[in-house]
């Protein structure tokens, strides 16, 4: 982590863009921590707010778009060749596609706030051939909100940015569990009338 912080301190805006892009594509880079640290640098006057936001947005948009393109270009081929080893059949892919059509749009912006999810939502969107205009609307809007949220957090917590991130990492999975319960409940109530009609 210290090496990544040094990278941002040394290379500034381009460094932030590059690291966020690689992190969203799937490399083990703590994206939220980098944004909070960048927000701290803004509070110290070492970075300017607008260029920092644009650099973070560029990294997030580049990373999520690359993941989408990888899914769109290579996803079906990977399923055809290696799907049987992963128990991923075309039938299951069709189920994922129908499910993604119902809730996938909102998973794209929400996935930014769940570590490890944003990359896979973009890949899945590409594999199921979600139209690019729909993908970009939700994914890029989510990117802007995500970048602004963590930059603002870093700006206001200042020198306590490390403590803030430890709290975030500690309670993130509780939030994920709560969201999963709420989502499952909504899904059950929506599908129950359909089952009764059948």
Q: How far apart are CA 14 and CA 158, in angstroms?
A: 22
Q: Could you write out the DSSP letters of every residue in the chain?
A: -HHHHHHHHHHHHHHHHHHHHHHHHTSS--HHHHHHHHHHHHHTTSS-HHHHHHHHHHHHHHHHHHHHHHHHHHHHHHHHHHGGGGT--HHHHHHHHHHHHHHHHHHHHHGGGSTTTHHHHHHHHHHTT--HHHHHHHHHHHHHHHHHHHHHHHHHHGGGHHHHHHHHHHHHHHHHHHHHHHHHHHHHHHHHHHHHH-
pLDDT digits 0-9 by tens, 59-69 = 999 999 998 99
What's residue 109's pLDDT? Answer: 84
pTM for the model stands at 0.76
pLDDT digits 0-9 by tens, 132-147 = 998 999 999 999 999 9
Q: Which residue has the higher pLDDT, 171 or 153?
A: 153
Which residues does 24 contact at the CB level (< 8 Å), separation at least 6?
A: 31, 59, 60, 62, 63, 64, 67, 118, 119, 122
Tokens 């973009």, residue? Answer: 122
Q: What is the average pLDDT value for the chain, to the nearest integer?
A: 77
pLDDT digits 0-9 by tens, 162-183 = 666 666 656 555 555 555 555 5
Q: How far apart are CA 45 and CA 47, in angstroms?
A: 6
Res 43 pLDDT > 80 = yes
């Amino acid at each position: 982590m210290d090496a990544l912080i040094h990278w941002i301190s040394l290379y500034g805006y381009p460094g932030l863009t590059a690291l966020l892009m690689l992190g969203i594509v799937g490399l083990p880079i703590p994206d939220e921590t980098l944004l909070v640290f960048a927000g701290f640098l803004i509070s110290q006057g070492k970075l300017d707010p607008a260029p920092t936001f644009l650099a973070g947005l560029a990294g997030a948009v580049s990373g999520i778009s690359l993941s989408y393109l990888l899914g769109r270009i290579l996803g079906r081929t990977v399923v055809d060749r290696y799907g049987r080893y992963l128990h991923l059949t075309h039938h299951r892919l069709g189920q994922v596609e129908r499910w993604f059509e119902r809730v996938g749009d909102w998973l794209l912006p929400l996935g930014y706030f769940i570590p490890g999810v944003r990359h896979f939502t973009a890949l899945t969107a590409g594999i199921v051939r979600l139209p690019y205009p729909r993908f970009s609307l939700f994914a890029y809007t989510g990117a802007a909100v995500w970048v602004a949220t963590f930059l603002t957090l870093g700006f206001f917590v200042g020198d306590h940015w490390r403590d803030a991130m430890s709290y975030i990492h500690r309670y993130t999975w509780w939030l994920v569990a709560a969201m999963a319960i709420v989502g499952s409940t909504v899904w059950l109530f929506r599908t129950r009338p359909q089952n009764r009609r059948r």
